[in-house]
Each structure stands twice: as structure tokens, then as C-alpha cells.
Amino acid sequence: MDDNQRQKDLSRDEETLLDELGIVGAARRKFLGQSMAAALGTFAFHLLAKEEVFATLAASPEAVFAPNTGVENSVKVLLKINGSTQRLEVDSRTALLDVLREKLGLTGSKKGCDQGQCGACTVIVDGRRVLSCLTLTASCEGKEVTTIEGLADSDNLHPMQAAFIKHDGFQCGYCTPGQICSAVALLQEAKNGDASIVTNNLRTSTQNLELSNEEIRERMSGNICRCGAYPGIVAAIREVHSGRETAQAWHFASDEEIAVALKEEGKADEIV
């Protein structure tokens, strides 16, 4: 609420009182602002005091409480997650993503859109990538689930993780777990000979497909990077897929390069 609105909300008696007190113009606006702040502070103080009093009160003997029914529509699920067997009792409607994050503490898989559009929640189920926000946990009975936490071998990164770091395939990192899981499963799809919409000849496609940059982009199109780190992502996947070193498109600036950049920046400022 602005100052003009506050003044409009004043009653005639309040305006008369402020006039008699000589509180006008800027002084009146300051007075109204301070009064409003004081009123809100007093309200908050009384509200907190009431909550403290209610918290100390014992429940009435006649009080009726809703029963704790536990898990609704419960089903028991046995699955293997990152090599560890898990026996879970969950609501039959619970998405795999929520079980991973809320029940098992595997928060690497991210809840992005929660509608299967962004790919941030991608995990690998029985070797194939799935959107865990759209996958019912109950449908994973007896299956093997691999999340970003399960790719590394102790302190040794998965080759795809190392390649993402080398080629700067991420910025904010929010989509990165899903990107990496998707990329790992993508390579398995290529080994299996699975075609994409840009595969040149479906009649002659065999196992161990050689993926072009166009193929990689198409196959990764379900994973959105809002930072736009796509060139680094493609380079990382190409290196792991081919087994050959891909030229790194970036490096840390040397002291000499920093000095030259600062000198050029100084010249530009002089021209301006």
C-alpha cells in the first residue's frame, strides 16, 4: 500500500487530528509509515504469544483425532538401487523420483518440471533411461535402478562424469545428473543398434552405431540445459563414445593471458 492510499483510507476524524497536530506533507507520510510498522509488529508479537500459549495446553479428553492410517494404497516393492537391494512399502501412486529423493535420500536426481519435459530426473532402469518423475515405483518391481550416485566406482569417476568436467558440460549443474545418466544409457542404445529419427539408413543399422554430432544432439534432445552448455555436453559424449580424445574447447587463462586481457580492457576504456 502506497502513501496516497494510506491517506485516502484515513477517516475524517483522523485527518482532522493530524491537521491539529501539524503533521502534514512528508511528516504525515513518515508518521503513517511508522504507525503501520508498529501495528504490524504488535500484531506479530501477539500472534506468537498466542501460539506459545496454545502449544502448552493439553488436549481435551473429549478431543477426537483422525487415525494415522500410514501409507495409503500400500504396495511392497523389491528392487535394486545402485547395487543395493531395497525392500520398500510405498503408495502405489508414488513416483520413483519421490522415493529416491524423499525415502532413500538420493537427491542427485532432480525434480525439475515434474511433467517429463526437462529430463532432470533421468535415471537408468535395467539399462534404459527413464524419466523417474513419470515412472511409478511399483512398476520397478524386481528391476535394477542406477542413479547419478551409482555411476562412480568409489572415488573413481565414471568416464562420462570425467568427460563432462573436462569439456565443461555444465554450468549451474542442476540438469547435469539427468544429462549424465541419459548420456550413459545413450551409449548402450548405440551398442544395441537402436535407431533415432536422424539415423541415415534403418535397413543397414546394426549394433555399435557410430554416432555423429547430429545423432548425439537428437538423442539428448529430451534433456534441457537452461544454461546452454550443449557444445560441452556433445563433446563429452563424443569422446566417451569414440574412445578418442576430443580437443578441449576451453582452458584456464594463464597469468600472461590475463595481463593481456586487462591491458586491452584498459585501452578500450580510454577510447570510450
pLDDT at 77: 96
Number of neighbours of residue 100 by Cβ within 10 angstroms: 24
pLDDT at 168: 92
Choose among 173, 159, 184, 178: nearest CA to 222: 178
Q: Do 146 and 89 sit in the same domain of this protein?
A: yes
User: Is 234 inside any structural domain?
Assistant: yes
Q: Three cell numbers at 175?
A: 540438469
Does pTM top 0.75 for this prediction? no
Q: Which of 110, 132, 150 is the endpoint of a domain?
A: 150
User: Is 175 inside any structural domain?
Assistant: yes
Find the domain containing 191 and state its range: 159-242
Q: Three cell numbers at 251?
A: 582452458
Tens-place pLDDT, residues 178-218: 999 999 999 999 999 898 988 887 776 678 888 999 999 99
pLDDT classification of 264: cutoffs 50, 70, 90: confident
**Locate cell 500484531: which residue?**
43
Choose among 192, 163, 195: nearest CA to 176: 163
Largest interatomic CA distance in the chain? 95
Q: Do 87 and 125 sit in the same domain of this protein?
A: yes
Q: Which of 98, 120, 150 is the endpoint of a domain?
A: 150
Q: Do 238 and 220 sit in the same domain of this protein?
A: yes
Tens-place pLDDT, residues 114-169: 999 999 999 999 999 999 999 999 999 999 999 999 999 988 999 999 999 999 99
Tens-place pLDDT, residues 61-110: 777 777 766 778 899 999 999 999 999 999 999 999 999 999 999 999 99
Is the pLDDT score of 272 beyond 60? Answer: no
- The CATH number given to whatever domain includes residue 179 is 1.10.150.120
- The CATH number given to whatever domain includes residue 120 is 3.10.20.30
Tens-place pLDDT, residues 220-253: 999 999 999 999 999 999 999 998 877 776 677 8
Q: Do 173 and 238 sit in the same domain of this protein?
A: yes
User: Is 42 inside any structural domain?
Assistant: no
More confident residue, 73 or 173: 173
User: Is 58 inside any structural domain?
Assistant: no
Q: Mean pLDDT across the stretch 32-43? A: 71
pLDDT classification of 268: cutoffs 50, 70, 90: low
Domains identified in the chain, total number: 2
Q: Do 171 and 208 sit in the same domain of this protein?
A: yes
